[in-house]
Structure 1
Amino acid sequence: MRAGEEAHVPPLADRLPLHAVEDRTVPTPAGDVPVRIYSPVEAGSSGVLVFFHGGAFFLGSLETHDHVARNLAEETGLTIVSVGYRRAPEAAFPAGLQDCYGVVRWVAEHGDELGWDGGTLAIAGDSSGGTFVAAVAAMAHDDAIASGQSDCITHQVLFYPSLDLDFDEDRYPSLRDNAVGYGMETAGLKPFNAFYLDSGADPADPLVSPIKRADLSGLPPALVVTAEHDPLRDEGELYGRRLAEAGVPSTVSRYEGAGHGFVQHFSWIPEFARVYRETAMFLNEHRLRGVQG
């Protein structure tokens, strides 16, 4: 399956051109993590968005989501740091999550190496990458409280996130309503996530199923993008509502006619391509309001 995904990656000459794209390795407490850094324009400094690719914790890579990162860079004007975290089953939980958090901490502590302007430090991810977004936002918040410092993350963007890895079909109506016929099917959720769950990821753990976190207050402003025909639609929308109820500025945006994975596979369709503009608008809106989470 990994090879099949990589085979569909377009050649470099056919990809969206940017000012600079650089592969490098970032040192973190969990070890060295490969990243790809996208600079949309030549600029002295800018905000940063750290991106976590999806793929049920065992698929996806810097290459399969290269086009997503390029589009995010062009539309937002931010420096994008895409994380090549360790995947299951080779790396047991919480290896991938530690890699993602480690890169965010590195950006916060060594942002001068990226030309970070000290302002926006957003995190974004699709599907299981959205799981990591929610978990990393919680980790950063808890660490900030424990250390008495300010939270380093200013925004979180979750594209059709997987937030409850207890795949009980009676838990959310969308698991039944969108069970078959729309690409990713409900019956496939358990086997697709088995590599991750069998590696020690407990669905009852809020770092595995972020919707189970009891207190969502104090987390950074969130944009939660869902897809009409996605089995995971309702848990994403519930998470957005719970954030709002906890006092977190939260926007839930459902894309009608879309299925799970549309940002990765179908964002070239005009009505879906606006997801990049919406992301940029969300980041700009909260930056102008001075909201820092």
Structure 2
Amino acid sequence: MMGVLQRMAQLCRPPLHSLTPQQARAAYAAGAEVLEVPRAELARVEDLQIRARDGAMLPARLYAPVAQAGLPCLLYLHGGGFTIGSIATHDVLCRELARLAGCMVVSLDYRLAPEHRFPTAVHDAWDALQWLAAHGREWGADTTRLAVGGDSAGGTLAAVCALKARDSGLQLSLQLLIYPGTTAHQDTDSHEAFAEGLILDHAAIAWFFDQYIAPDAREDWRFAPLLADDVEAVAPAWVGLAELDPLVDEGIAYADRLRAAGVPVDLEIYRGVTHEFIKMGRAISEARQFHRDAAQALRAAFATE
């Protein structure tokens, strides 16, 4: 991992927080697949659109390893601080999850900040999950076996969607939370320990948050799910964290909160790796191990063993 970081530093690219949001998106997209595993060929890869509550049509992409109907389905919400990232930047990852888990994956292009600030991304994610529950059969999904997941900001959205699903009576098989943000402020020990020098640092997090949400709104549980009134009876969780990540402490805290409420939780902390490691499978074995572990969690939750 340290060798990867050294090579990245040698490129002398400007930090994302020094760019405009549009420039940051382009820079992130340009490097998104450099360290990824090869793109898997799947039986089905189809673009579709999902209608949001305000009438906007949200791009989404469906992945399935086989052509037949009746596959369980994961709604995947990409990371990127609510500001960058897309279906395209997480294409390889979603293909791997579909291939290894034997499930359908629907990846959502929720709307990004600062053009669309909080809570638009929350609304888009929840609208998409409800749409899948209502219309997924038309696309070949088994809507009795649904999961929601995501990395980083997408993990935050997935955790929020799981709580909303609980409140609305929508049964989920799993919430797949990959180094999710769960707190309102950058005040944990890991935020201090890993404030500089790694993939995600203090300046970048502050910049992302400034794009997305006003400071006086950050106590809203839809931004910081650790502040939710209760987390009882939510879907079982699989939580995957990076050891060298500002977000690791809040990921552990959320897993502990779920466990204390009686929610089944599997927690994996990948040692010696940083935020974004799941997209570095060409360079580090921990990314490939994560792919297998996350897929196994989905298989177990969907009872596709």
Fold shared by both chains (TM-score > 0.5): yes
1:41-60 pair list within 5 angstroms:
41-60=66-85
**Given the alignment, which residue of 196, 201, 216 partners 2:231?**
216
Q: Does 1:124 align with 2:170?
A: no
* Partner of residue 184, structure 2: 165
Q: Deviations over 1:22-58 (max 9, x none)?
A: 1111123233211001111122311000000010001
2:166 and 2:234 in contact (8 A); partners too: yes
Deviations 1:155-181 (A, max 9, x none): 10111111113123xxx2111222222
After TM superposition, list the pairs within 5 Å mapping 1:174-185 onto structure 2. Answer: 174-185=190-201
Q: Does structure 1 conserve the Cα–Cα contact (< 8 Å) formed by 2:236 and 2:264? A: yes
Q: Residue 297 of structure 2 corresponds to which residue in structure 1? A: 282
Aligned pairs for 1:133-152 within 5 A:
133-144=158-169, 151-152=170-171
Separation in 2, partners of 1:49, 1:287:
10
- Hey, what does 2:27 align to over in structure 1? 4
- How many residue pairs were aligned? 276
Q: Please say which of residues 89-98 and 276-285 is displaced more in the overlay.
A: 276-285
Number of the residue aligned with 1:26: 50
Deviations 1:64-116 (A, max 9, x none): 11111111111111111000110011112211111111111011011211212
Question: Deviation per CA, 1:218-247, whole angstroms, max 9, x where unpaired?
Answer: 100001111010011000011001101100
AA partner of residue 154 (structure 1): S
Q: d(CA) in 2 for partners of 1:261 and 1:122?
A: 22
Asked if 1:35 is matched to 2:51, the reply is no
Task: Name the residue aligned to 2:113.
Answer: 88
Structure 2 match to 1:15: 39
Distance 2:53 2:174 in 1: 23
Larger mean CA deviation between 60-69 and 178-187 belongs to 178-187
C-alpha spacing 1:201/1:248, structure 2 compared with 1 (3 Å): farther
CA contact (8 A) 1:93 1:201 kept: no
1 CA distance for matches of 2:216 and 2:46?
A: 32
Q: Kindly indicate whether residue 281 of structure 2 is the aligned counterpart of residue 267 of structure 1.
A: yes
Equivalence for 1:148 = none
Structure 1 residue 275, shift from structure 2 partner: 1.1
Asked if the contact 1:30/1:99 (under 8 Å) is kept, the reply is no
Match of 1:107 among 92, 116, 132: 132
Counterparts of 1:30 and 1:256 in 2: how far apart (Å)? Answer: 42
Query: For residues 163 and 205 of structure 2, what CA distance do their matches in structure 1 show?
Result: 24
Q: CA deviation at 1:61?
A: 0.6
Query: d(CA) in 1 for partners of 2:298 and 2:49?
Result: 27
Question: Structure 1 regions of 5+ residues with no counterpart?
Answer: 145-150
SS in 1 for 2:175: strand
Deviation at 1:187, TM superposition (A): 3.7
Deviation of 1:251 after TM superposition, in Å, equals: 1.1
Range that drifts further, 59-68 or 36-45: 36-45
The aligned counterpart of 2:3 is none
Aligned to 1:147: none
Seen in structure 2, the aligned counterparts of structure 1 residues 201 and 47 have a Cα distance that, compared at 3 Å, is farther
Q: Partners of 1:244 and 1:226 in 2: how far apart?
A: 16
Alpha-carbon displacement from aligned partner over 1:203-232 (angstroms, at most 9, x marks no partner): 101111001113110100001111010011
Contact 2:33 2:89 survives alignment (8 Å): no
Equivalent residue, structure 2, for 1:196: 212
SS of the equivalent of 2:244 reads coil
**1:206 aligned residue:** 221
Contact 1:49 1:124 in 2 (8 A): yes
Structure 1 residue 8, shift from structure 2 partner: 3.0
Identity of aligned residues (%): 36
Moved >6 Å (runs of 4+): none
Residues 209, 188 of structure 1: alpha-carbon distance in 2 compared, 3 angstrom cutoff? same
Provide the C-alpha distance between the structure 1 equivalents of 2:87 and 2:216, rounded to a whole number of angstroms: 23
- 1:17 aligned counterpart, secondary structure: coil
Note if contact 1:30-1:102 (Cα within 8 Å) is conserved in structure 2.
Answer: no
CA distance in 1, matches of 2:119, 2:195: 29
How far the C-alpha of 1:182 sits from its partner, in A, is: 2.1
